[in-house]
Structure 1
Amino acid sequence: MSLDVPYRSIPDMFLQRVSATPGRDAFAHPAPDDSGPIWLTWAQVGQRAKAIAAGLRGLGVDHEDRVAIAANTRLDWVLADLGIMCAGGATTTVYPTTEPEDTAYILTDSGSKILIAENATQAGKVAAADLPALTHVVLMDGPADPAANPPQLTLADLEVQGALALERDPELIERVVAEITPDRLATLIYTSGTTGRPKGVELLHAGWCWEGVAQGTLGILEPSDLQYLWLPLSHSFGKTLLCGVIHVGLPTYVDGRLDKLVELLGLVRPTLMCGAPRIFEKVYNRAVTTAQTGGGAKAKIFAWAVRTGKRKVALEQAGQPVSAGLRISYAVAEKLVFSKLQARLGGRIRVLVSGAAPLSKEIAEFFAAAGLPIYEGYGLTETSAANFVNRPGRLKIGTVGQAVGDLECRIDDDGEILLRGAPVMRGYHNLAEETAAALTSDGFFRTGDIGELDADGYLKITDRKKDLVKTSGGKYIAPSAIEGMFKAICPYTAQAVVIGQARNYCTMLVSLDADAVTAWAAGGPLAGRPYAEIVASAEVRGLVEGYVDDLNTKLNRWETIKKVTVLPRELTVEDGEMTPSMKIKRSAVETSFANEINKMYEGSLAQL
């Protein structure tokens, strides 16, 4: 059954939303003193977005002209993006962590005419670059530099110029929006990729509108919800959520400051939050290590509560009734243990969604046991992000749920997941050969992921096609599955990377969560020591090796981890070892820690 999409473009969908519910809360930003959200209604957002759009038209932006945004997640990002849409332009996204060389490459490759930069630091990344297409730089924060070339102005100035233009021509934006057809370019999102130079993914208005409507059918986004949106808006996950928000009319608090997330959850009290697995892993680590360091009765009660919750979840997942006795036990477990975890997330969470990277099944079971089920989903930048997702009342832990809308999925002969439908990209910008290679002759996109569909249409991802490791003994190993198991077993883990390609046994690099391992150290001889000293200690090595021994009991013989190295720091985006969506760049990690890896294979027939 095909999905009915009643919009021609994102700005058409947006202006219809503004018209339908002008007085309802739309987006909020934090108060300067973090005392709470400051809300804008849909009418106010509409007025500001149209003013920005008119200002961009005044700077020469026409249909499908690229306008780049380089900024952290904040309300101004949303307003700028909506302004670009209403001007008929196409948004080019640049992560604020992108290095100057890659920033200049993205602006050059996209042919962006305008750069909307968060501040002088972001603008400075392209100050020395030769960008003939770039005519203006717009700053969200700080004053414009009158001597800059190309010329600078502030976002506030742009808005004022646009408002004056609309006084002279009130219907300007409506005329522009009426000309935007579904097949026009809406965004160029550059995949950070786990290898190679970023590729610009051309995504059309038709696909994004399809995403907005499809999300409204899932029971995940409801008008009565309050969303806390912290995800990078430069990423397709953030963009697709904005489309769902516009279609559904969902109030959304926008704040990308991750260091403030836990503190502000209690203040904002959202009912809905989406995130990458790393956020849920940190919450899990904190809960488990707090209980363990509490010791005695506290640790025993926590362990009993988790066992009780998991028994209840297992019955529910199997479609079996939960006995009255177990329901009573669970109510006690919730009162004594789980209510505290729920309160830490604001006390009102209805839906948690995980995407962008694989979520450990064991961690998903823990959250479900705690009455905070995580609805894992799956998608790619090339397919507009939201393709499969679990949903309320239809959660199957260990899968990424069922297809969204009328998206088609086929599993190729080698297990690769193939997708076809409205949200699939037009192609890679300026890369005809790579576009052709990514699509089958009948229009399916080759995801590069290996998976399987069950009888009910639930998709299970087993690994990345290119990340499957083949040992020198000829055995295939799925690293991400092993890494996910270890994260669930060892609550001190930040990241784990399994090594084994063309080697005669598997090893693992492990980085430890700074908060969790520091809390663990507080009760012993390492108390008060700096992180680097703690993770280099014999005590920590023994701790991690114990968890590896536990992991190995759950693995096939050829998958077992023979040696492990605890890294001196966490892997980071800044060091090039993680993508901004928190995926591990395996080749970069192996380069950064080549010495550590080689030591684990000394004296072996590792390299063949």
Structure 2
Amino acid sequence: MTTRTIPAVFREQVAKLHSRPMIYSRRDRHWRPLTWLQINERVDAAAAGLLDLGIASGERVAIIGQSSVEWVIADLAILSIGAATVAISETASMEDIDWILSDSGVKAVFIGEADILERVAGEMGRFPETHHLFAFHTAVKILDGLDTEHLSLLKLENLGRTSTHLSSIPGRIDGIKPSDLMTLIYTSGTTGQPKGVMISHENMTSNCEACLRAISISHEDVLLSFLPLSHSFERMAGYYMPCFFGGATIYYSCGMDRLLEDLEEVRPTLMTGVPRLYEKVYRRAQTVRRQFTPAKRLAMGAALSVGARLSRKHQAGRQAGKTLNWQYAWLRDKIFRDLHDRLGGRLRILVSGGAALAPEIAEFFFSSGVLILEGYGLTETSPVVSVNRPESYRFGSVGQALDNVRVRIAHDGEIMVKAPSVMQGYWKQPSITRAVLSDDGWLATGDIGRVDRDGFVWITDRKKDLFKDSGGRYVAPQRVESLLRLEPMIEQACLIGDNRPYCIALIVPAMTELEAWAKKKKLFFRDPESLLREPKIRRIIDESVNRVNQRLAKHETVRDFELIAEAFSTQESLLTPSLKIRRDRVVARYADRIDRVYLAKKKP
């Protein structure tokens, strides 16, 4: 059992790495570093400022904002006084933000988005327990029109630097118990209100320690972070574990729009990501491949074939011969050098989580010289349950359980987990907690899967996502959707078929590729909607769907589809922060169009 807390582990690393850069952030087109000592000084100042304003140990403080150095400082300041961080995605709907602020009873809120700050400040009467708002630099201009009691983060730090509480911070950290609440992370929830998952310091530190034993990370590593810190996956795997436990340096990307540029500039050795990112890279590579000369297409096919043969030997635990290793290295350098350089040229590991990764994508990246290690977890398990290791992996699986995690399969196929990382429960929801967490500590994950004889965990689908067609046959939609997204002209897909005679799909095409194709063919269109009405475009998608159907059982096949011009997004609450489909909300949004597809199919 761990006896450490997150702020205590941070202080240990400050003592070891004091003058080394801890975090780089991009300001004025330049990467600017802050050392461990500089971060520590700002954290102590902000923590003292919070105490000066009456925020006490055991209370809760929220953060709403993009991943940044200010997010980290605010988080560590909150934890250093013994309070708990309530992490909220900046893309959450205002309805969800209102609910979380009210339900958690936060005393203060750090906000990095100007529109959210203005909205929350204008409705403070709805949050009677919330007394202070603090603005990150991205929202600070809004403060001029608000009450003087609201401060920027920098002014909070300045307040703390003259506070009598400043010298008490180390002692307060020593007084925090591992069993104390560290954070509330609200699950996105496809039905009903989001639930606050209660994670203690012990929950989080035990998961970090086990993950570090599974994947070695050191102070020589550089991690590029672009996923939201409000999500448990990035917070543990892209922040606490690599940085506080491994000593790695973190660069905070400006977001997906700048990710490729950031990769080339930062040249990371590690990165966490979600399948959607890797799918985009794979789809782009397939588009480029079609433009190659026949000879180059053959060479790329050979490189992929050799990479697949080598990876399968590794996955089976067998040694590869010198010839195969030489072929792999030569073809990788000749065929994939450009891709490798665009990823920075130093990546040794990509970690994938949040949703299922297609084995074809893992094989492709391996052939290019980069290993993707897919893992599995839940917010309720802080979050990692299992992960593939560099020396022991199987594409398509989510790896073996961490060394302090026990996994068993229930009679109905549901994955059950017992570990020191399993949550304390749901905030103010004892009956819902009892429904998923037994008295002896076993958590019902809601996922269906199996464990093979070597201990690798394989996920079938979310229990709640499995559906039966009207003939009573089960369909696992995530696998079908994953196969559809492998097609170069398909960006997103949502399979429909619950209690229906057959399956159809809502498909968001890869509009950039489609528009380029249409212009090349001199196909006139006014806007994306008009382009999708073109019969030639529908035939392209139909060919993609037919290729996927050849890999499916008859009752799983996609019999028809509806093309959607606007991508499913977190802003529209159709995706979770980890970019998984909120199936119920998608179905509700497009109910009329779904019904029209089924009705049209019935017509003679």
Structure 1 Cα separation of the partners of residues 223 and 547 of structure 2 = 38
Give the 5 Å matches for 1:33-44: 33=29, 35=30, 37-44=31-38
Are 2:62 and 1:64 equivalent residues in the alignment?
no
Structure 2 Cα separation of the partners of residues 249 and 272 of structure 1 = 13
Match of 1:509 in 2: 506
- How far residue 243 of structure 1 moved from its aligned partner, in angstroms, is 1.8
- Post-superposition Cα deviations, 1:36-55, rounded to whole Å, max 9, x if no partner, equal x2221111111111111111
AA aligned opposite 2:350: L
Give the direction of change, closer, same or farther, for the CA distance of 1:522–1:334 in structure 2 (3 Å limit). farther
AA aligned opposite 1:360: A
Match of 1:474 in 2: 472
Are 2:94 and 1:100 equivalent residues in the alignment?
yes
- Post-superposition Cα deviations, 1:256-306, rounded to whole Å, max 9, x if no partner, equal 422111111000000000011111111111111111134543433333322
Q: TM-score, normalised by structure 2?
A: 0.95
- Post-superposition Cα deviations, 1:76-127, rounded to whole Å, max 9, x if no partner, equal 1011101111121110111111222221211111000001111431212322
Match of 1:85 in 2: 79
- Post-superposition Cα deviations, 1:308-353, rounded to whole Å, max 9, x if no partner, equal 3223222332334434443343334212321211111111101100
What SS does structure 1 have at the residue aligned with 2:416? Answer: strand
Give the 5 Å matches for 1:308-457: 308-457=306-455
Contact 1:232 1:256 in 2 (8 A): no
- How far residue 430 of structure 1 moved from its aligned partner, in angstroms, is 1.1
Match of 1:18 in 2: 14
Any gaps of 5 or more consecutive residues in structure 1? Answer: none
Which of residues 291, 298, 301 is equivalent to 2:299? 301
Are 2:136 and 1:128 equivalent residues in the alignment?
no
What SS does structure 1 have at the residue aligned with 2:498? Answer: coil
What SS does structure 2 have at the residue aligned with 1:211? Answer: helix
Are 2:182 and 1:180 equivalent residues in the alignment?
no
Give the direction of change, closer, same or farther, for the CA distance of 1:230–1:527 in structure 2 (3 Å limit). farther
Are 2:217 and 1:221 equivalent residues in the alignment?
yes
Give the direction of change, closer, same or farther, for the CA distance of 1:16–1:321 in structure 2 (3 Å limit). closer
Any gaps of 5 or more consecutive residues in structure 2? Answer: none
Structure 2 Cα separation of the partners of residues 377 and 527 of structure 1 = 44
Give the direction of change, closer, same or farther, for the CA distance of 1:38–1:150 in structure 2 (3 Å limit). closer
AA aligned opposite 1:576: S
Are 2:556 and 1:559 equivalent residues in the alignment?
yes
Give the direction of change, closer, same or farther, for the CA distance of 1:540–1:470 in structure 2 (3 Å limit). same
- How far residue 396 of structure 1 moved from its aligned partner, in angstroms, is 1.0
Contact 1:230 1:254 in 2 (8 A): yes
Give the direction of change, closer, same or farther, for the CA distance of 1:271–1:531 in structure 2 (3 Å limit). farther
Match of 2:484 in 1: 486
Which of residues 592, 595, 601 is equivalent to 1:595? 592
AA aligned opposite 2:97: T
Give the 5 Å matches for 1:227-238: 227-238=223-234
Structure 2 Cα separation of the partners of residues 602 and 169 of structure 1 = 68
Match of 1:286 in 2: 284
What SS does structure 1 have at the residue aligned with 2:95? Answer: helix
Contact 2:437 2:444 in 1 (8 A): yes
Give the direction of change, closer, same or farther, for the CA distance of 1:331–1:11 in structure 2 (3 Å limit). closer
Give the direction of change, closer, same or farther, for the CA distance of 1:67–1:300 in structure 2 (3 Å limit). same
What SS does structure 2 have at the residue aligned with 1:171? Answer: helix
Structure 2 Cα separation of the partners of residues 323 and 540 of structure 1 = 46
Structure 2 Cα separation of the partners of residues 401 and 30 of structure 1 = 35
Contact 1:144 1:152 in 2 (8 A): no
AA aligned opposite 1:368: F
Give the 5 Å matches for 1:506-545: 506-526=503-523, 530-545=527-542
Structure 1 Cα separation of the partners of residues 190 and 274 of structure 2 = 16
Match of 1:54 in 2: 48
Structure 1 Cα separation of the partners of residues 526 and 247 of structure 2 = 49
- Post-superposition Cα deviations, 1:334-389, rounded to whole Å, max 9, x if no partner, equal 12321211111111101100001111122112112222121001111111112211
Name whichever of 107-116 and 511-520 sits farther off: 511-520
- Post-superposition Cα deviations, 1:213-240, rounded to whole Å, max 9, x if no partner, equal 2222122433221000111001111221
- How far residue 169 of structure 1 moved from its aligned partner, in angstroms, is 5.2
What SS does structure 2 have at the residue aligned with 1:217? Answer: helix
AA aligned opposite 1:85: L
- Post-superposition Cα deviations, 1:447-481, rounded to whole Å, max 9, x if no partner, equal 10001111121111100001111111111111101
Structure 2 Cα separation of the partners of residues 587 and 273 of structure 1 = 31
- How far residue 429 of structure 1 moved from its aligned partner, in angstroms, is 0.8
- How far residue 527 of structure 1 moved from its aligned partner, in angstroms, is 7.7
Contact 1:220 1:392 in 2 (8 A): no
Give the direction of change, closer, same or farther, for the CA distance of 1:404–1:577 in structure 2 (3 Å limit). same
AA aligned opposite 2:43: A
Give the direction of change, closer, same or farther, for the CA distance of 1:228–1:428 in structure 2 (3 Å limit). same
Q: TM-score, normalised by structure 1?
A: 0.94
Structure 1 Cα separation of the partners of residues 47 and 355 of structure 2 = 34
Contact 1:94 1:190 in 2 (8 A): yes
Structure 2 Cα separation of the partners of residues 202 and 187 of structure 1 = 6
- Post-superposition Cα deviations, 1:188-216, rounded to whole Å, max 9, x if no partner, equal 11111232211111110111111222222
- How far residue 143 of structure 1 moved from its aligned partner, in angstroms, is 4.0
Structure 2 Cα separation of the partners of residues 425 and 556 of structure 1 = 38
Structure 1 Cα separation of the partners of residues 347 and 515 of structure 2 = 29
- How far residue 131 of structure 1 moved from its aligned partner, in angstroms, is 0.9
Contact 1:69 1:94 in 2 (8 A): yes
What SS does structure 2 have at the residue aligned with 1:602? Answer: helix
AA aligned opposite 1:188: L
AA aligned opposite 1:481: R
Structure 1 Cα separation of the partners of residues 322 and 530 of structure 2 = 50
- How far residue 182 of structure 1 moved from its aligned partner, in angstroms, is 0.9
What SS does structure 2 have at the residue aligned with 1:455? Answer: coil
Aligned length: 597
What SS does structure 2 have at the residue aligned with 1:50? Answer: helix
Identity %: 37
- How far residue 600 of structure 1 moved from its aligned partner, in angstroms, is 2.4
- How far residue 149 of structure 1 moved from its aligned partner, in angstroms, is 5.0
- How far residue 74 of structure 1 moved from its aligned partner, in angstroms, is 1.1
What SS does structure 2 have at the residue aligned with 1:466? Answer: coil
Contact 2:44 2:166 in 1 (8 A): no
What SS does structure 2 have at the residue aligned with 1:515? Answer: helix
AA aligned opposite 1:513: A
What SS does structure 2 have at the residue aligned with 1:133? Answer: coil
Contact 2:306 2:327 in 1 (8 A): yes
Contact 2:525 2:531 in 1 (8 A): no
Match of 2:153 in 1: 155
Match of 1:262 in 2: 260
AA aligned opposite 1:319: G
Structure 2 Cα separation of the partners of residues 451 and 402 of structure 1 = 13
What SS does structure 1 have at the residue aligned with 2:520? Answer: coil
Match of 1:275 in 2: 273
AA aligned opposite 1:115: V
Give the direction of change, closer, same or farther, for the CA distance of 1:31–1:503 in structure 2 (3 Å limit). same
AA aligned opposite 1:415: G
Match of 1:578 in 2: 575
